[in-house]
Each structure stands twice: as structure tokens, then as C-alpha cells.
Amino acid sequence: MGQISLYLDDETEQLLRSRAKAEGLSQSQWVSRELKAAAARTLPADVLALSGSWRELPPLPRPDWEATDLPRV
């Protein structure tokens, strides 16, 4: 199992301790869960590499009708 060292300011360390304790987790379990959740919110590298690859996006289809606004009350 891998290990890391974290250097935290006092305020962040207290936040980590209190959140882990409130959720009944060890500090390692809490940090591990948060890292996994952060990784899940990040797009994969191959998707990020596509950023800016289209010079021009295709036009979006427009509805064929003209809608008039309804009276507001």
C-alpha cells in the first residue's frame, strides 16, 4: 500500500480531523475517499486533449416556429 506525507496548515489539519471524526473514519480513510471523489470529477486526459481541436463547432439546429411570449401576470 502506498503512503504519502501531507503538510497542512493548522486550520486545514483541524478541518480534516473534525470531518473524519464526524464521519467515523480515520484520517487516511477520509483523505483517500476525498481523493477518489476528486479524481472521479476530473475528465480523463484523452478527453482533455481534445479541447480546442475543433476550429468551428457545427451550428445548432433552430426551431422552425416563431414563438410569441405569453402575457405575464
Give the span between the Cα atoms of 3 and 28, in whole angstroms: 10
pLDDT over 90 at 61, yes or no:
no
**Number of folded domains in the chain?**
1
Spatial contact of 16 and 8, defined as CB atoms under 8 Å apart: yes
Q: Which cell is 59 given?
A: 451550428
Residue 32 lies in a domain: yes
Residue 4 lies in a domain: no
The 10s digit of each residue's pLDDT in 6-45 is 899 999 999 999 999 999 999 999 999 999 999 888 888 8
**What is the pTM assigned to this prediction?**
0.58
Mean pLDDT of 43-57: 84
Q: Which cell is 11 given?
A: 486550520
- Residue 6 makes CB contacts below 8 A (sequence gap 6+) with 31
pLDDT score for 57: 78
Domain containing residue 24: 12-43
